Amino acid sequence: MAREDLQEAYDWLRRARSNFLKAKACVDVEGVALEDLCFDLHQATEWALKALLLYLQRTPPPLHDLETLLGQIAQGGIPLPELVKEVAKLNRYFALSRYPKLQNPVSRQDFFEALDLTEETIRWVEEEMVDRGRGR
């Protein structure tokens, strides 16, 4: 893998962590909508999955559907942990951020579930990249 390609994968992963940390830090900030934070978590998850695709030398598709991204990773022969498979639930937050009247408001429970799913997905992507870098 070319050094610049590897750097691009790690740049996407860095941005995933950034959006995750922003959402986590702002949950109790007055005036910040949980829907917006869940959009950040969707974005973080999307970027993490695309980082893994880049690491695997596959061009991520120009879409935002987490289920499709998971499918492309699985097609590459990488088994998906059960908890990571659940991350497709976050797709609703992508649409919700653009069309607020389409769905019910986000509860704190919804937010913390999304936070946990995103954190687990980022952790899994990091582990996959480290393990594959060691020649697993």
Q: What CATH number is given to the structural domain containing 75? A: 1.20.120.330
Q: Tens digit of pLDDT for each residue in 40-91? A: 999 999 999 999 999 999 989 899 999 999 999 999 889 999 999 999 999 9
To 10 degrees, the CA torsion angle through 28, 66, 131, 81? 90
20: confidence class by pLDDT, cuts 50, 70, 90 = very high
Residue for token digits 């987490």? 66
Average pLDDT, stretch 33-37? Answer: 92
Pick from 31, 23, 29: nearest CA to 110: 23
pLDDT of residue 96: 61
Mean of pLDDT over the chain: 90
pLDDT of residue 85: 94
Q: Is the pLDDT of residue 100 over 70?
A: no
Find out whether 90 and 114 touch, Cβ atoms under 8 Å: yes
pLDDT of residue 130: 86
User: Total domain count for the chain?
Assistant: 1
135: confidence class by pLDDT, cuts 50, 70, 90 = low
- Its domain, for residue 30, covers 3-133
CA–CA separation, 5 vs 90, rounded Å?
A: 28
